[in-house]
Amino acid sequence: MMRGVIVRRPQSPIEHSTPSLSRRRFLETSAALAGALGLSTRSTAAAAEPTAAEAAPLGAPAHPLDPLTADEIARAVEIVRKEGHVDDGWRFVTVTLSEPAKDLVRSFERAGPMPRRAFVIVINRKKGQAHEAVVDLVKGAIDRFEPLPPGIQPSITMDEFSECEEAIKRSPDFLAALKRRGAGNVDLVMVDPWSAGMYGSERPDDAGKRLSRALCWVRSEPNDNGYARPLDGVVAVVDLNQMEVLRIEDFGVVPLPPESGNWHRSYQERFREGLRPLEIVQSEGPSFTVKGYEVAWQNWSFRVGFTPREGLVLHEISYSDGQGRRPVLYRAAICEMVVPYGDPAERHYRKNAFDIGEYGIGLFANSLKKGCDCLGSIRYFDAQMTDSRGKPVAITNAVCLHEEDVGLLWKHTDWRTGQSETRRSRRLAVSFIATVGNYEYGFFWYFQQDGTIQCEVKLTGIMHTTTVPEGERPAFGTLVAPQLNAPFHQHIFAARLDMSVDGDENSIYEVNTVSLPHGDENPHGNAFRAEPTLLAGESQARRSVNAATARFWRIVNPSRTNRLGEPVGYRLIPGENSPPFVQPDAAVMRRAGFTAHHLWVTPYNPKERYAAGDYPNQHPTGDGLPVWTAADRNLVNTDLVLWYVFAHNHVPRLEDWPVMPVASLGFSLKPDGFFERNPALDVPPAALV
Ligand SMILES: [Cu+2]
């Protein structure tokens, strides 16, 4: 059933003036300020009785794909401590659900036994060695506990962020570097523990160490924007296991930029006027239903999952129509990302952050706020994870589920008969937002009534900054304020799409639209057609976008045909994209090899989960897609995983400073012969909702 969403603007102008706000700090609550600005944070349904969907509690796991509960995490930690002889000198990196095999998930019956295993990564800090463990929570025992090869470094934990900052602030060498820059108050220093990477130019005495090459900024007062004042030329190299500063690399003093770049409301002199309330009213509640982690809406169903590494994960996405419940994807997540910076200076060239593989984007998920991050009738999901001591940590309201009105779905007017039909489009949005140091990433998956799934990544927050001497224009960045440089960079994401178009056995075609040369087939010069090419093996399926042929890819089920005799399919349609702009033999490409192509296709292997491999942090050779696809495995009529890589090329603008307005990019999966006609003909006219 579909319930109404009304976007209501007052019909008559209402006198509503916004008082000029004088400079003030820390006075207003969000709600009070939003009210003063005429930005309604009211969600009628949400403000009233909670709906069944909103109120549903999440207790014990009810399905094999449900994320681990806090109790399960605590139990897994306890078992690893006991059976693995893991004492306080070790650190827990992640404790996540070890997802059961597909056949176990599919054969699961609610009355029957449920497999529950935890996958745990721990580090023995004294020995500098990481281990993987798989814990059987049903048996209460460790199934597997193995050391990782020397030099393999799991992602950097949240605790290491804060401990690294403290260690640097205690370092006499760092204090001396601070003094050389005339920035004496160490309390105002901010440290971002950037990953160290692997460049082949490492010092021998760094070998095997768990490192951060931390970068620093300094605030001019306790609450201003520290990123306005980069402590340029100072790199603190920290051993994260011993939590000691190995050395301060000083590339020379560059004076601090003179201006502050504040963005917080407390620094805003006045707010613009003229905004009247715009209310999202869902008087009968939302049209989705939620049972545990299972969501159903407008013929769609899927399960919500969450990992500290990937953040939001969607499982078992399917669409129900006259043919029953039809699978589309078994699992979908953004599995890796990297942000390579283009500045070749000695102090800058190692900058590239794998925010998923080197840190874990789920760890940094925000607790979302109704009325600010999300409007309407919202259902939130919490995320459960651990701190590095193995203590369960919950991020409340980490995932947001809500409906949005998105304008026109379809329309036609027959001017001869006077018949006119319009349908408004509704989509279901499931999302989370992560803050990684200076930057925010919003990850949104949209389900539409026409069978489309859309993925959108929203980029906002504060750009990475460096300092240039007075009067100098940066060659590899944009001057965004006096002496403040925002370097050129790319944000490159990899989506892992475990396809299951009407079943697991799928094939993939690339479709290029080509103009025909003049000749017998094209006597008038107007001929062009779409030409499909089967991508039969992995080496053939390393592809990139091509605007000149309007390229897209079609994933089909060769054994299921539509009424016109064509295999049913879904189309992967690229959005904004660009190639990597670093040289193919640049050191970062060893670990970021997945960025060399926009599309990779692999036959399903549950061990292949992350585009840059399991442990990209300081990985000596690189792993992931380039390595796996060298096997050139068969891709015809088999269980396929698509890896779509998409990039935002960020040439900063002045308008991106001090906090950038959202830039968004993504891709769509559109039904292509999956349905027999427009599946949204039965969406009722607005008047009938
Ligand atoms: Cu950017």
Helix H, strand E, coil C: the string for 504-529 is CEEEEEEEEEEECCCECCECCCCCEE
**What was the pLDDT predicted at 687?**
81
User: CB 659: neighbour CB atoms within 10 A?
Assistant: 17
Residue 33 confidence (pLDDT): 35
What average pLDDT does the segment 236-264 reach? 96
Q: Return mean pLDDT, the chain.
A: 91
Q: Is the pLDDT of residue 561 over 50?
A: yes
**Residue 6 — very low, low, confident or very high, per pLDDT cuts 50/70/90?**
low
Task: Catalytic residue, from 66, 232, 355, 656: name it.
Answer: 355
Q: 322, exposed or middle or buried, with CB in 10 Å at 0-12, 13-18, 19+?
A: exposed
Candidate from 132-136, 201-205, 519-523, 627-631 with smallest mean pLDDT: 201-205
Give the number of other Cβ atoms within 10 Å of residue 584's Cβ. Answer: 8
35 vs 417 pLDDT, higher one:
417
Predicted confidence (pLDDT) at residue 197 exceeds the cutoff of 50: yes
Cα 459 from Cα 337, distance rounded (Å): 13
> Which residue has 């027959």 as its token pair?
414
Give the pLDDT mean for 48-58: 41
* Residues 582, 583, 586: CA angle, nearest 5 degrees: 90
- In terms of Cα–Cα distance, which of 363, 353, 590, 334 is closest to 464? 353
Contact 255, 469 (CB under 8 A): yes
Token pair for residue 175?
């204090």
For residue 387, give the amino acid letter: D
| CA–centroid distance, residue 306 to ligand 1 (Å) | 25
User: Which pLDDT score is estimated for 112?
Assistant: 74
Structure tokens at 204: 């021998």
| C-alpha of residue 491 to centroid of ligand 1, in Å | 6
Mean pLDDT throughout 216-244? 95
Phi and psi at residue 449, to the nearest 5° = -75, -10
Rounded-to-integer distance, Cα 348 and Cα 235, Å = 10
* Cα 152 to Cα 96: distance, rounded to the nearest angstrom: 19
R_g over Cα of the chain: 26
Tokens representing residue 643 in the block: 């890896």
Most distant CA pair in the chain: distance in Å?
84
Nearest-angstrom CA–CA distance, 603 and 499: 10
Q: What's the pLDDT score for residue 151?
A: 86
Please state, as a whole number, how many other Cβ atoms lie within 10 Å of the Cβ of residue 688: 7
**pLDDT of 24 strictly over 60:** no
Residue 570 a catalytic site member: no
Q: How confident is the model at residue 253 (pLDDT cuts 50, 70, 90)?
A: very high
Alpha helices in 93-157 (DSSP H): 102-106
- Strand partners of residue 209: none
Task: Output b/e per residue, 21-48; b: 16+ Cβ within 10 A.
Answer: beeeeeeeeeeebbeebbbbbbbbbbee
Instruction: Report the distance separating Cα 482 and Cα 402, nearest Å.
Output: 42
Please give the pLDDT value at position 48. 37
Q: What is the mean pLDDT of the segment spanning 232-255?
A: 96
Q: Which residue has the higher pLDDT, 58 or 347?
A: 347
Cα 66 to middle of ligand 1, angstroms: 33
DSSP H or E run through 177: helix 172-180
Please determine, for residue 454, whether its predicted confidence score (pLDDT) is greater than 50. Answer: yes
Contact 334, 457 (CB under 8 A): yes
- Tokens 């806090």, residue located: 70
Going from the Cα of 51 to the center of ligand 1, the distance in angstroms, rounded, reads 39
Closest CA to 83 of 2, 32, 139, 145: 145
Cα 444 to averaged position of ligand 1 atoms, centre (Å): 18
User: Which region among 22-26, 183-187, 295-299 has the lowest average model confidence (pLDDT)?
Assistant: 22-26
User: Would you state the pLDDT for residue 182?
Assistant: 85
27 token code pair: 């006075």
Q: Is the pLDDT of residue 39 over 80?
A: no
Say how many C-beta atoms besides its own lie within 10 A of residue 130's C-beta.
25
User: How many whole angstroms from 255 Cα to the centroid of ligand 1?
Assistant: 24
Classify residue 176 by its DSSP letter. H
C-alpha pair distances (Å), 495 with each of 417, 492, 611:
47, 10, 8
Give the pLDDT confidence of 636-686 residue by residue, as tens digits: 999 999 999 999 999 999 999 999 999 999 999 999 999 999 999 999 998
Report the C-alpha gap between 227 and 436 in whole angstroms.
Answer: 13
| 663 CA distance to ligand 1 middle (Å) | 9
Q: Check: CB of residue 611 under 8 Å from CB of residue 356.
A: no
d(CA 300, CA 312): 18
Average of per-residue pLDDT across 63-90 = 96
Q: How far is the CA of 464 from the centre of ligand 1 (A)?
A: 8
Least confident of 44-48, 85-89, 90-94, 464-468: 44-48
Calculate mean pLDDT across residues 345-350.
Answer: 93
List, as one string, the DSSP characters of 368-397. Answer: --BTTTB-SS-EEEEEEEE-TTS-EEEEEE
What are the backbone angles phi and psi of residue 509, rounded to the nearest 5°? -120, 145
DSSP H or E segment with residue 589: helix 588-591
pLDDT band for position 615 (50/70/90)? very high
CA of 463 to the centre of ligand 1 (A): 6
Q: What is the reported pTM?
A: 0.92
Q: What is the DSSP letter of 258?
A: S
Q: What pLDDT is recorded for position 1?
A: 56
- Three-state DSSP at 593 gives helix
CA 489 to ligand 1 centroid distance, Å:
6
State the pLDDT at residue 686. 87
Q: What percent of the chain has pLDDT over 70?
A: 91
Three-state secondary structure call for residue 655: helix
Average pLDDT over residues 197-213: 92
- Euclidean distance between CA atoms 198 and 298, whole angstroms: 48
Pair 595, 589: CB distance under 8 Å: yes
Handedness of CA 612, 614, 616, 622 (dihedral sign): negative
Residues 6+ apart with CB under 8 A from 69: 58, 59, 60, 61, 384
The H or E element spanning position 325 is strand 324-340
- Residue 52 confidence class, pLDDT cut points 50, 70, 90: very low
User: Residues 601, 508: contact at Cβ < 8 Å?
Assistant: yes
Integer Cα distance of 174 and 247 in angstroms: 9
Asked which of 43-47, 453-457, 551-555, 676-680 is least confident by mean pLDDT, the reply is 43-47
Length of the chain: 689
Buried b / exposed e across 664-683, counting CB within 10 Å, b at 16+?
A: ebbbbbbbbbbbeeebbeeb
439, 441, 446, 644: the active-site residue = 439
Q: Which of 453, 666, 677 is nearest to 571 (CA)?
A: 453
How remote is the CA of residue 487 from the centroid of ligand 1, in Å? 9
Q: Where are the beta strands (DSSP E) in 172-261?
A: 189-192, 211-218, 230-239, 244-250
Least reliable range by pLDDT among 50-54, 179-183, 436-440, 464-468? 50-54
Cα–Cα distance measured from residue 668 to residue 323, given in angstroms and rounded to the nearest whole number: 23
State the Cα–Cα distance between residues 302 and 327, nearest whole angstrom. Answer: 10
Quote the ligand 1 centre to 355 CA distance (angstroms). 13
Q: Which two tokens stand for residue 287?
A: 């049209």
Does the annotation count 355 as an active-site position?
A: yes
Classify residue 159 by its DSSP letter: H
What's the CA-to-centroid distance between 657 and ligand 1, angstroms?
A: 11
How many Å apart are CA 396 and CA 370, to the nearest integer? 12
Query: For residue 51, what pLDDT is reported?
Result: 42
Query: What gap in Å lies between CA 687 and CA 595, rounded to an integer?
Result: 48
Alpha-carbon distance 395 to 306, whole Å? 11
Interval 60-74 mean pLDDT: 94
